[in-house]
DNA sequence: TTGGATTATTTCGTATGCGAAGTTTTTGGT
DNA sequence: ACCAAAAACTTCGCATACGAAATAATCCAA
């Protein structure tokens, strides 16, 4: 048995699973609408400020800028966000919710809030989880990955099905 | 402003972000080794029982069987798991860690446990998070998604950059 | 000022995940 | 026993994510 780490267990069995459970819920709820989990999160993040650069948004959402870039482009063509170059600094892209985007976000928020209302998770539970997870995330972002060295591979057994 | 739901906030801002923070950590730690976050989780899940069918594994990992299927195939060619048809029921695939798989898992566990050791998250913190998240996951899996209907799209403004 | 860093964004290749649809094997009702 | 329904996997098309590398705009130090 390898060394034990409760934080590792948390990551592999709880956070991973919960993330995908949420993902399946949002995917089902937004099906056919063109909205997705990722795009919904972007809308929510953009709603916290009047405008944001692409990298500020990526910080807010917690993913890399190259993940946001194509999504923002698509969302602009859908009309939910405005996407323009910053006149002050032509490298920057400035993003902002459109009036339509605000309406879409509102409609989505309503549906989700309704679906999540009677699941037995109180606001206090959720708040506690928010505080705890927030702390854990800060910690994990500080982790310095050391390279894994794998043991010698075995004499290629290939014990299995042809395909 | 749409209706508020703390559980929705938890999903969109905390769980989503923490999942990706963990993902980036494991990706960096396992870089070059051929191991990935998803494959590592599969190894850990398989270590909990002497053997498992593909669908039992998918249940244990918390994703759909069609996600596990190609991963299991690849992992068998890497020699970390054994993958054979169940003689009792030829529809089933039986999966089991190989000796090499056990070694790989052990090596990975060591590295992660070491990297996660001094981040300021106690085992008690992690345990508390495990209990709380476990409860939340059960609840979310019960949520019945109702279809989102988007408001009328605006007269296609397309106010943006050419590309 | 001017040319090499630095910063912001984009593009590219790879790896997951999901639902839907297809294939093979087992089950069950008659 | 026989065939339709169910169950277990697999395949397919689409949508994220990431790191690495490319591109474009700014900064800055000699």
CB A86 within 8 A of CB A94: yes
**Residue owning tokens 């244990």:** B60
B43 contacts B34 by C-beta, under 8 angstroms: no
Residues of chain A above pLDDT 90, percent: 88
With a CB cutoff of 8 Å and minimum separation 6, the contacts of B89 are: none
Confidence grade of residue B162 (pLDDT, cut at 50, 70, 90): low
The ipTM value here is 0.95
Q: Which nucleotide is nearest to B67 (CA to C1')?
A: C17
pLDDT in tens, B5-64: 999 999 999 999 999 999 999 999 999 999 999 999 999 999 999 999 999 999 999 999
B159 pLDDT higher than 80: no
pLDDT digits (tens, 9 = 90+) for A25-68: 999 999 999 999 999 999 999 999 999 999 999 999 999 999 99
Task: Give the position of tokens 């549906």.
Answer: A111
Interface test with A, best of B5, B97, B149, B158 (most A CBs within 10 A): B5
Q: Given A7, A14, A120, which is nearest B134 (Cβ)?
A: A14
Residues A78-107: pLDDT tens digits? 999 999 999 999 999 999 999 999 999 999
Whose tokens are 């859908």? That residue is A78
At B112-136, the pLDDT tens digits run: 999 999 999 999 999 999 999 999 9
| % of chain A residues with pLDDT over 70 | 94
Closest CB to B136: pick one of A18, A63, A151: A18
The arithmetic mean of pLDDT across residues A110-124, rounded, is 97
Residues of chain B with Cβ-Cβ distance to A156 below 8 Å are 79
Tokens 């494991």 found at: B26
B107/A18 touch (CB, cutoff 8 Å), yes or no = no
Domain B13-140: assigned CATH number: 1.10.10.10
What pLDDT, on the 0 to 100 scale, is given for residue A159?
A: 57
Looking at domain A39-137, does it have CATH number 3.40.50.2300? no
Give the other-Cβ count within 10 Å of A147's Cβ: 11
């Amino acid at each position: 048995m390898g060394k034990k780490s409760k934080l590792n267990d948390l990551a592999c069995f709880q956070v991973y699973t919960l993330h995908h459970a949420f993902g399946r819920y949002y995917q089902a709820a937004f099906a056919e609408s063109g909205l997705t989990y990722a795009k919904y999160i972007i809308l929510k993040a953009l709603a916290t400020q009047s405008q944001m650069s692409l990298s500020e948004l990526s910080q807010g959402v917690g993913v890399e800028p190259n993940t946001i870039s194509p999504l923002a482009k698509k969302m602009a063509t859908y009309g939910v966000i405005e996407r323009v170059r910053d006149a002050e600094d032509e490298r920057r892209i400035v993003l902002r919710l459109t009036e339509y985007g605000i309406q879409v976000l509102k409609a989505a928020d309503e549906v989700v809030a309704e679906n999540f209302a009677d699941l037995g998770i109180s606001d206090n539970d959720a708040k506690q989880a928010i505080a705890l997870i927030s702390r854990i995330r800060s910690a994990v972002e500080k982790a310095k990955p050391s390279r894994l060295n794998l043991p010698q591979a075995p004499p290629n057994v290939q014990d299995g099905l042809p395909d």
